[in-house]
Amino acid sequence: MKFGFCNVAIAPLRAENNDRAEMVSQLLFGEFVEVLEIRDNWTFIRNIYDNYEAWVDSKQYKLIEKLEDAHFLTFHLSHACQFESISFPLVLGSRLPNFDGINLKINKEKYLYNGKAINTLENPLSNFKKIALKYLNAPYLWGGRSPYGIDCSGYTQMVYSFFNHALPRDAYMQANLGETINFSGEAKLGDLAYFGKEERITHVGICLGDQQIIHASGKVKIDSFDHIGIFNKETKKYTHFLKTIKRLF
């Protein structure tokens, strides 16, 4: 069994082993993977964080001797990291293995990072709204997990990651977790609301309380929602229809 870590800012994960294939997710710097198969210049991996499997360019990760402690997450939208004489950006929510406040070490290699970071084991839930709003106005990107492009389930997954709470990658998978809340008026900050047509879950957002929801649709934005679904005040139409609300905290 072999393991690796993402050693670039953002690595696309693809449905097939070529650059033209659909991007189904992303790896952020410092995330660990299990190597399942190597084919030409591509590697089929399993993301250790959420067990998601996809193809990654083999140049966008490095093999490691063992899995490392990685409870610290970056808290800037983007901040420089330095390895030897090379600087590169780390985006919000990147992992910092063995971080001591200035340096992080992976594979006996030392990286310098003097930006703000949060320890997921110490991060109080009182910061939930602050973290959710960090992604406000991030553009929608299918498969995205960063403030420079993110999809609805990638957004909920990343926000929850700051609380050491690993969500599955896709909305319909996330909907299997938590306690069901029967009425939209009872939704509180941090609850997850799921939307779709018929029985299929196709969208998810984070409840902010007072029947407001923050979600990635075109961009990360705040809308009103009720027992019917998400209501867009500009178009005066419902854009998504409510299926269920789940409470994980």
Residue 39 has a CB neighbour count (10 Å cut-off) of: 10
Look up 165 and say whether it is catalytic: no
- Sheet with 10-14, strands from edge to edge, namely 23-28, 10-14, 53-57, 42-47, 32-39, 2-6, 61-64
d(CA 23, CA 74): 24
Look up 215 and say whether it is catalytic: yes
Q: Which member of 6, 81, 203, 207 is catalytic? A: 203
d(CA 207, CA 199): 21
**Please, which contacts does 53-59 make with residues 24 or more away whose CB atoms are closer than 8 Å?**
54/13, 54/14, 54/15, 54/24, 54/25, 55/13, 55/14, 55/15, 55/16, 55/17, 55/21, 56/11, 56/12, 56/13, 56/14, 56/27, 57/11, 57/12, 57/19
Q: Which member of 6, 81, 207, 215 is catalytic? A: 215
Look up 152 and say whether it is catalytic: yes
Q: Which member of 152, 165, 207, 227 is catalytic? A: 152
Burial class (CB in 10 A: 0-12, 13-18, 19+), 94: buried
CA-to-CA separations, 90 to 26, 146, 187, 241, in angstroms, rounded: 14, 10, 34, 36
d(CA 113, CA 74): 9
d(CA 230, CA 207): 11
Q: Look up residue 42 and give its two tokens.
A: 């591509």
Q: Which amino acids are annotated catalytic?
A: 152, 203, 215
